[in-house]
Amino acid sequence: MNDSPPLPELRQATLDATGLATLLSDLALCTEVLAVLPKSAARELSSERPLALAEASEALQAGRLRGVQVRYRFDGAEWWDTLITAGPSAWRLVRIRHDQALAAS
């Protein structure tokens, strides 16, 4: 019998330019954005200052930013979406329900 807590909810997807624009619009309109952090390397957050969601959106779509992590609250839960450039017009989305991640650790 395993007494470990369940793993947090995790989702992944690949987005095209339309999907990225829709996601970022939904985040702006439907969530409480807590932080938008630029990513400079695969496994670390940048030491740069946090960004506004609109600024991150424009930089991602223009190819000036490798990725961002958007931390937000939706429907009473805290979520972290990590977006990484995956090609000329493609972005990889990894979404985790952060409050479940904390409970599992």
- pLDDT greater than 90 at residue 84: yes
pLDDT, residue 46, reads 57
pLDDT, residue 105, reads 54
Which residues, including other chains, have CB under 8 Å from residue 87's CB and lie 6 or more apart? none
- pLDDT greater than 80 at residue 11: yes
pLDDT, residue 35, reads 94
Residue in 66, 67, 37, 64 with CA at minimum distance from that of residue 52: 37
What is the C-alpha to C-alpha distance for residues 35 and 71, in angstroms, rounded to an integer?
5
- pLDDT greater than 90 at residue 26: yes
Of residues 14 and 89, more confidence is placed in 14
Residue ranges of domains in the chain: 10-104
